[in-house]
Structure formats: structure tokens, C-alpha cells
Structure 1
Amino acid sequence: MPIFFHILLTNVLPMSIVIGLGIVLQRCFKLDIKTLTKLNFYLFSPAIMFKLLYETEISYGLIGKVLLFFVMLAVLQYIMVEIVIRLRCYSPGMKSAMRNSVLFYNSANYGIPLNQLAFHGLKETMAIQVIIMMMQALLPNTYGVYNVNAHKADMRKVWRTIFSMPIIYVIPVAFMMRGLQIPVPQPIATPIAYLSGAFIGTALITLGVQLGNMKWVVKKTMALDVSISAFLRLIGGPLAAWLIVILLGFDKLTAAALIVSSAVPTSLSSVLLAVEFDNEAEFASQSVFVSTVLSVLTVTAVIFFLQL
């Protein structure tokens, strides 16, 4: 048990403190969550994505491995959530909210610092986390936007929204510039460094602000659905990842990094999409809140069992 508490204190608690600061700020000053989400969507997230993809040493072999894992995990989790949707007979809006709460996980503002802490800044595991972050950045900005709008909006408007997201342009540009060894001009590199440096702190604060903006009591009418979402994300995610890495025969370090990456709570993206497009925002917020709180124990447990 001393190892368990060591992991809790050194890997999970530091992030919880920053999230807690966001909660305090929201309670004291009532910050504008939509402004913060737009800063994350349009500035900080694209900046750190470009910087990490441009600077991190990532082999094509590793990209192939991680993408195969990511697709298999997404398919398994999609099957899990579709079974729940059919059993629960959700409305169209609730279907998309439940899918987003399970399929979109916090690989950036939770996963990046967790990877740094859990693996002591290893470049190999960070490269894996960057690829997962890239895919988790693409998914909400493409499928996620479509998912929350498909049942209520003109498809042309949906596609316009998708193509307005900077992240879908940043990823190919970063790969192209790195592949062709095109240097980033200093007047551009410096702002990118400033913005990417602000990402983790701002994203964790934004999560705290959203949590601070919510009632910390789960409504009885949605308690079961929120519990199902948290279970599929925090327990179903790492279990499915564990099964996949065994089937694919990955080495221990790669397997550990992928399992840890899948154990993180529901992404703030699900809330941002719900707020931005007025789709079950209360359920989305409660799902993020509950999964984030419970992840303090579940993520610690996952790292603990991996060390055993």
C-alpha cells in the first residue's frame, strides 16, 4: 500500500491541485467558461499539438502500432456504449452525449502530465502519448462535432463547423514540416512556445472552472447513466486496452504507456461540445465531474497494478 499512496501523491495529486484552483477561481469570480473553451480549442491545443508533433521523435513503426491500438480500443468501447444505448433506449441527444463521454478521454490536459509523472519524462512513452493525443484531438473535432449535431442540424453547417477547427490543419502541417525538415521561423516559433506552454495549466484550470460551475450532486434521474459512463471510461477503458496489448503482443513499456493512456477520465471536449452545441450539457458536465473525481483512485490503481 505505500506504493499505492506514493503514486497517488506524486502522479495524481499534482493535477488535482491545479483543477482545484480552477474550482476556487470559479466559485470566487464566476469566469466565462465559453471564453476559456475557445482559447483551448483555437489557441492552446493547436499550439501544443504542433510543437509536440514537430519536436517529438516518433517513428513510423510506432505510429502504426499506436494507431492500430487506438482503432481497436475505439471499436471495443463503441460496442460497449452501443449496448448500453440500446438497453437504455436513449433520446438522440442523449445517445451522442453518452458516446462522447466514453469515447473521448482526457489524453491531453490529464494524459500528458500523467505520462510525464508516471514514466518520469521518458521520451519513448511521451511519443506514444503524443500520438494518442493527436487522435483524441482529431476525434472530438470531427466525429464529435458530427455526433452532437447530426440529429438536429443541416449537414452543410456541421461540415463547416468541422473544417473551422484549427487542429485538423495543424496536424498535417506539423508532419509535413518535420518530414521536409522545414525550420519554424523564430517570430512564429516563439508565440507557439508561449501558447503551448500555457496549455496544460489553462486546460486543467478550465476543467476546474467547469467543475466549479456545476452542482456537486448528481441528479437521481441521471445518476445511473453517469455511473455507467464512468464505469465504461475508467474500468472498461483500461481493461479493453489490457486485452488489446496482449493480443497485439506489445513490449512491456509500450503496453504500460497505452494502458495508462486509456485509464484517464472523460475528456473536457465532451463538455465543450455539449456547451457549444447545446446538447445534454448537464449530463456531460456530471460525467466529467464524476469520472475526474473517481479517477484519483482508479488511475492510481492502474499504475499500481502495472508496477506489480
Structure 2
Amino acid sequence: MAYISLVFLDVILPILILLGVGVILQKKFEFRLRPIANLVTYCFLPAAVFLNIYEADIDFELLGQLALYLVLFITAMMVVGEVLARALGLRGGERTALKNSVSLMNSGNYGLPVSHLVFSANPVGVSVQIIVLVVQNLLTFTYGLYNLRSNAKSVVELFRELLRLPIIYALAAAFILQAIDVELPSFISVPVEQLAGGFAALALLLLGMQLAQIEIRSFHRVIAWSALGRLVIGPAVALVIIFMLGIEGVIAQSLFIASAFPTSRNTATLALEYDVEPELHAQVVLYSTILSSITVTFVIYLSMQLF
């Protein structure tokens, strides 16, 4: 119990404080969030992704095992979302909200800062989380968009959406430069390091600002089932797959923790853009983020005990 309290104080509480500061700032100043979100997506996040992969000591033989895990985990969570939606008899936007909320995790604004705190002494853990982040972004703009408007975008249009994501190019550049062992000159490495250093705080402030705009109304049953699927069933599925594949050590810890992150904020953003139950999507994100302070604390503790 004492260790769980320590995990909460050292990892989760700092994140909640930054989220709270973001909520307060948004309530007071009513910032336009689109420019800030673009700044995070197109500047700070790519720098953080590039630097962490570039500086990590990655065993490339483990990437195949990691890829297999992600395929199995993502497929399993899609099945969980589909089964829950059918069991509840959901239709239309409610069905979409449940399926996307179970499958799509907030690996960026929430997950990466958590990983930085948990694995501050072991950058491999952060690198694993970055790969999960990239895969989740790819999933959001393929599976997530398909659920929202399956007839609105062609395969070519979805591919164009993916090519607009700067983290893909940052990840590729980092892998290439690390593989050929190129040392960055200081006039490039210094600004990249400064941008990467500012990502975690700005990302959490932005998430808090976004949560401040969500109105809490009637509690829909989808919220409860999506929280169960994302925060409880997700880590349970991940644990089974990790043991099944024989993954151990820091990589197992990072994957297990990553499976417990709350629903992606992008689900609410895209739902608003396509007008598919935007209020329900937003409330799912809000409740999932709040409840994750409890579940993520427990998963972090459990990961340190098991691996």
C-alpha cells in the first residue's frame, strides 16, 4: 500500500497538478486551443519523438516481438469494443464512441509524460512508449476515422492524412540516423533538446485546457462500459499477451503501463469535426482521464512487481 501511494505521489500527482493548472488557465483566459494543439503536434511532439529514439539504446531484434505484441493487442481491443457494442445493442454514434474509446489510447499528451516520469533512468521504456504512440496515431487516422465516417474518406484520403503526421518523419529520421551512427551537430541538437524538454509540460497543460471545455451532463451507459474496456480489460489483455510472448524487463513494464492509458483526446476532436455524438465522445474522454489516475497508479505498481 505504501508503494502504491509512492507511485501516485511521484508519477500521477504531478500529472494531475499540470492538468489542473491547464483547467484553471483555460477557465480564466479562454485560450484558442487549436493553435496550441498544432504547436504540440507539429513542433514539440516530433522533437520529443526524434530525441528519445535517437538517444535510446534499442535492440532492433526486439522490434519484431514488439510489432507482434502491438498487432495482437490492437486486434484484441478492436474485438473487445465490437463485442461490447453488440452486447449492449448500440447503434450509430453510440456504437462508434464505445469502439473508438476502447481501442484508441491517449499515448501522447498523457502517456508520454507518464513514461518520462516512470522510466527517467531507463530511456528504453520511453522509446517503447514512443513506438506505441506512433502506432496509436496511425490507428486513429485509419480505424478511428473509419468508425466515424466509413464512407467519408477513401483509402487515398486516409493515406494522405497519415502523411501529414510529422511524428512519422521524426521517427524515421531518428531510426536512420541511429542506424548509420550519425552524431548531430550542436546547432541542431540543442534546439531539438529544448523543444523535447518542453513537450511534457505543454502537452499536459493542453490536455487540461481541453478537459476544461467539456460539459458534464447525464451519465450515459457508454461511459461506464468504455471506461471498463479501456482501463480494466485493456491492461488485462495486455498482461495475457505479454506472458504469452514471453516479454520481460523494461519492455514488458512499458507495454503493460501503456495499455492502461485513458481514451485518446483525438476521439473527441474527430467526433466534433464529423458531428458524431461529440458530447458523448468528450465525456468519455473526461471520465476516462479522471478514473485513470487510480487505474494507472495500480498498473504501474503491478508492473514493477511482475517484471
TM-score when normalising by structure 2: 0.88
Q: Identity of paired residues, percent?
A: 33
- Pairwise CA distance, 1:141: 4.0
Q: Deviations over 1:111-138 (max 9, x none)?
A: 2332333345223323322322232233
Aligned 1:92-107 pairs, distance under 5 A: 92-107=92-107
Contact 1:92 1:151 in 2 (8 A): no
Tell me the distance in 2 between the aligned counterparts of 1:33 and 1:301: 32
Confirm or deny: 8 A CA contact 2:227 2:287 kept in the other structure.
Answer: yes
User: Compared with structure 1, are the counterparts of its residues 183 and 88 closer, same or farther at alpha carbon in structure 2 (3 Å cutoff)?
Assistant: same
Separation in structure 1 between the aligned mates of residue 250 and residue 52 of structure 2, nearest angstrom: 20
Residue 287 of structure 2 corresponds to which residue in structure 1?
A: 290
Alignment of 1:130-145 (within 5 A): 130-145=130-145
**1:62–1:128: 8 Å Cα contact kept in structure 2?**
no
Which stretch shows the higher mean deviation, 241-250 or 159-168?
159-168
CA apart distance, 1:65: 2.0
Once the two structures are overlaid, the 10-residue window that deviates more, 175-184 or 56-65, is 175-184
Structure 1 residues 48 and 272: CA distance shift in structure 2, 3 A: farther
Matches within 5 A, 1:1-308: 1-153=1-153, 156-215=156-215, 217-220=216-219, 223-308=220-305
Partners of 1:297 and 1:205 in 2: CA distance: 20
Partners of 1:86 and 1:111 in 2: CA distance: 29
* Cα distance change, pair 202–17 in 1 and its aligned pair in 2 (3 A): same
User: For the residues of structure 1 that align with 2:129 and 2:190, how far apart are their CA atoms?
Assistant: 24
The Cα shift of 1:214 comes to 1.2
Change (3 A) 1:41 1:281: farther
Moved more, 276-285 or 38-47: 276-285
Q: Runs of 5+ in structure 1 lacking a partner?
A: none
- 2:161 is aligned with what amino acid? T
In structure 2, do the counterparts of structure 1 residues 141 and 38 end up closer, same or farther at CA, with 3 Å as the change threshold? farther
Q: CA RMSD in A?
A: 2.4
CA distance in 2, matches of 1:146, 1:134: 18
Give the letter for the 2:71 counterpart.
V
* Displacement after TM superposition at 1:153 (Å): 4.2
* Whole-angstrom CA distance in 2 between matches of 1:48 and 1:11: 19
Q: Point out where structure 2 has 5 or more consecutive residues left out of the alignment.
A: none
Q: Is the 8 A contact 1:66 1:131 kept in 2?
A: no
Contact 1:268 1:288 in 2 (8 A): yes
